[in-house]
Amino acid sequence: MELAPFEQKNWGSSRLSSPVPPLCRTQQCCLGIDEAGRGPVLGPMVYGICFCPLSKKQDLEELKVADSKTLSEAERERLFEKLDSLKEYLGWALQILSPNVISTSMQQRVKYNLNALSHDTAIALIQYALDSGVQLREVFVDTVGPAEKYQEKLQERFPELEVTVKPKADALFPIVSAASICAKVARDYAVKHWKFLEDLEDVNLDYGSGYPNDPKTKEWLAKNLDPVFGYPQFVRFSWSTAQSILDSRAVPIRWDDSDGHEKASSKGSQSMLAFFGLKKDDMRRPAHRFFQERKLETARDL
Amino acid sequence: PDQWVLIARDSLLELPKKPGDGTFFTRLRNPSTGEGALFLFSSCAQQLFEIKVFNEDYHSWFIGQTVQHDGRLFFATPMDALFLILYYLIKAEKEQGKFQPVDQVIVDEEFPSSHILLQCTQAVQSLHHVTEEKEIGSKKFYKYNKEKTLKWLKKKVVQTVKALKTNNVCVGSAVQSSTFIRSRQILDVTEEDYTRYAHGLISEYIPEDLSADLLKY
Amino acid sequence: LLPCEIQYNGHAAVDKYFIPTI
Cβ atoms of B34 and A298 closer than 8 Å? no
**pLDDT, average across residues B70-99:** 96
Give the residue on B whose Cα is nearest the Cα of A255.
B58
Question: Cα(A89)–Cα(A111) distance, rounded to whole angstroms?
Answer: 40
What SS3 class is residue B115? helix
**pLDDT, average across residues A24-42:** 96
Give the residue on A whose Cα is nearest the Cα of B199.
A288
Q: Which of B29, B75, B69 is nearest to B50 (CA)?
A: B75
Chain B contact set for C10 (CB, 8 A): 66-67
Identify the weakest region by mean pLDDT among A3-7, A186-190, B133-137.
A3-7
pTM above 0.95, yes or no: no
Beta carbons of A251 and C7 less than 8 Å apart? yes
Q: What is the pLDDT of residue A10?
A: 87
Domains of chain A, earliest start first = 3-193 (3.30.420.10), 215-249 (no CATH)
**By the CB < 8 Å criterion, does B66 face chain C?**
yes
pLDDT band at A3 (very low <50, low <70, confident <90, very high): confident
What SS3 class is residue A248? helix
The residue length of chain C stands at 22
The residue length of chain B stands at 217
Strand pairing report for A29-36 and A45-53: antiparallel
The 10s digit of each residue's pLDDT in B95-106 is: 999 999 999 999
Q: What is the pLDDT of residue B21?
A: 77
Of C3, C10, C15, the CB nearest to B58: C3
The letter for the amino acid at B143 is K
Cβ atoms of A187 and A44 closer than 8 Å? yes
The 10s digit of each residue's pLDDT in A217-256 is: 999 999 999 999 999 999 999 999 999 999 999 999 999 8
The ipTM (two decimal places) reads 0.90
pLDDT band at B178 (very low <50, low <70, confident <90, very high): low
Beta carbons of A252 and C7 less than 8 Å apart? yes
End-to-end, the C-alpha distance of chain B in Å comes to 46
**pLDDT, average across residues B85-99:** 96
Residue B144 has a CB neighbour count (10 Å cut-off) of 22
